Structure 1
Amino acid sequence: MLLAIEQGNTNTLFAVHDGTSWSAQWRTATESARTADEYAVWLSQLLNMAGLQLGVFDGCIISSVVPQSIFNLRNLSRRYLHVEPLVIGENAELGIDIRIDKPSEAGADRLVNAIGAHAAYPGDLIVIDSGTATTFDVVAADGAFEGGVIAPGINLSMEALHTAAAKLPRVAIQKPQRVVGTDTVGAMQSGVFWGYIAMIEGLTARIKAERGAPLTVVATGGIASLFHGATLSVDHFDPDLTIRGLLEIWRRNQGRS
């Protein structure tokens, strides 16, 4: 039984793999100061509801873009799961080439996504991850990570509008009925939603033109489902891309001393 922990800047996902499939998944807000004990109390309650307990795990893998949280997540695994965790960027062997100028700067989440995408889709890929930031990453047909684009996430952009402009309210992100809004809320929703659709279409087209070859576009992340059906530029919407990557990395590291 494997516990996969994928921590982003906004949310942290805990997913349980029973050896055959993902049997449970839970999300919590990312709080860098949350201790291992606090995680254990929260997680034990959810495991109980699923008929499980902390002691059932024989493996744990952690991917985090919040360095100050890794200490507590590692202690959660050691103290309460009684297993030494695999941590992306520390003791986990990824098994892929990182073909960028400074490989150490590649985020753990982007590398895990590259591995998860390569495991499921053939050929050259563009992986779009919509979270706190929106990233567009190129994965070669051999699985290598070849760089990409980092843009502000849709929630970040909406919050910036509200914070920086005194008269603009905080609004929910959703697909508007029409492009041209007839009130402030509608205009904001249209600008953010269709603006991001335009960014997806424009950047994927430019990446393909620069590469001079066809690429399959895969979208993931908590916000990606909002764009489902709104653009033909995305070939696949895959919510399990990151945890699939973590599972693949876990399997690649079995048997290593």
Structure 2
Amino acid sequence: MLLVMDIGNTNVVVGCIEGEKVFFIERMSTDRKKTELEYAISIKNVLEIYGIRGRDVEGAIISSVVPQITEVVRSATEKLICKPPKVVGPGLKTGLNIMMDQPAQLGSDLVVDAVAAMAEHPVPLIIIDMGTATTVSVVDSKKRYIGGMIMPGIRTATDSLVSNAAQLQQISFEPPKKLIGSNTIDCMKSGALYGNAAALDGLIDRIQEELGESCTTVATGGLAESVVPLCKKKIVVDNNLLMKGLQIIYDKNR
């Protein structure tokens, strides 16, 4: 059994996977003030909820876009399972040919998503990850990561809107009953969800136009299941994409 973790700006995603079986995926709040011991206790509590003990875990792998706490979580994990976890980054084989101007700047979560998507879907690929930021990654027909786009995530953009508009309030993200909202809350929901769906449809069109060929599109992340059904393009939702990618990279570096 493999313990996999992705440290994001908002959440630390924790899961256990063995072969094709995903035992669980849970989210903890990313807290830059937590100590190594506090993270170890948090991870231990999650494992115990699912009846998993530290000695049941064969190994661990971590991807992170929050450098300030990467080492804290790595040390906490080693304390818990008594084995050094692998961390996605320089020195770890991924099998991904990155064609960016500065490959080292590519977020490890985007690397992991691309590795998983390439293992399960035909190229060229568009990979959408909807978290704190909504990222769009492009893998061409030669299996090269050629670049992508970054835009504010739905919750990030909505929080900014609410904090700067005195008469607007926080909303949940279930779709409104109709596109054209008839009250402030439904107008905000429609703008957030349908607006992002339209943005994704438009980006897919433009990417395919630039590449000159059709692409397989895969989406993952916390709000993908809310937005993708509102898109006009065919998009496959896979909320286990990151977990699968981490497992593939771990196996490449045994």
Could you say which residue in structure 1 is the equivalent of 2:140? 140
Q: d(CA) in 1 for partners of 2:59 and 2:112?
A: 17
1:230 aligns with 2:225: no
Partner of 1:249: 249
1:34 Cα deviation (Å)?
1.8
Normalised by the length of structure 2, the TM-score is: 0.95
How many residues align? The count is 254
State the 1:6 CA deviation. 0.9
Cα deviation per residue 1:191-229 (whole Å; 9 max; x = unaligned)? 111110110111110011011111011111011000242
Q: Secondary structure at the match of 2:95?
A: coil
- d(CA) in 1 for partners of 2:142 and 2:245? 15
Give the partner amino acid of 2:225: S
Match of 1:152 in 2: 152
The one-letter code of the counterpart of 1:29 is S
CA shift for structure 1 position 73: 1.1
What amino acid sits opposite 1:152 in the alignment? P
Q: Deviations over 1:38-78 (max 9, x none)?
A: 12212222322322211222211000100011111110122
SS at match of 2:97: coil
1-structure distance, mates of 2:8, 2:49: 25
Shift in CA distance, 164/46, structure 1 to aligned 2, threshold 3 Å: same
Give the match for residue 104 of structure 2.
Answer: 104
Q: Indicate the SS of the match to 1:188.
A: helix
Matches within 5 A, 1:1-257: 1-254=1-254
CA distance in 2, matches of 1:227, 1:72: 34
SS of alignment partner, residue 51 of structure 1: coil
2-structure distance, mates of 1:6, 1:143: 24
> What code does the residue aligned with 1:71 have?
E
Q: Is the 8 A contact 2:116 2:244 kept in 1?
A: yes
| Counterpart amino acid of residue 238 in structure 1 | D
Comparing 108-117 with 80-89, which one deviates more in the overlay? 80-89
TM, length-normalised to structure 1: 0.94
Q: Over aligned residues, Cα RMSD in angstroms?
A: 1.4
Cα distance change, pair 81–90 in 1 and its aligned pair in 2 (3 A): farther
Q: CA deviation at 1:250?
A: 0.5
TM-superposed CA distance for 1:19, in Å, is 4.2
- SS of 2:217 mapped into structure 1: strand
Cα gap change, 1:193/1:19 in structure 2, threshold over 3 Å: closer, same or farther? closer
Same amino acid, percent of matched pairs = 35
Gaps of 5+ in 2: none
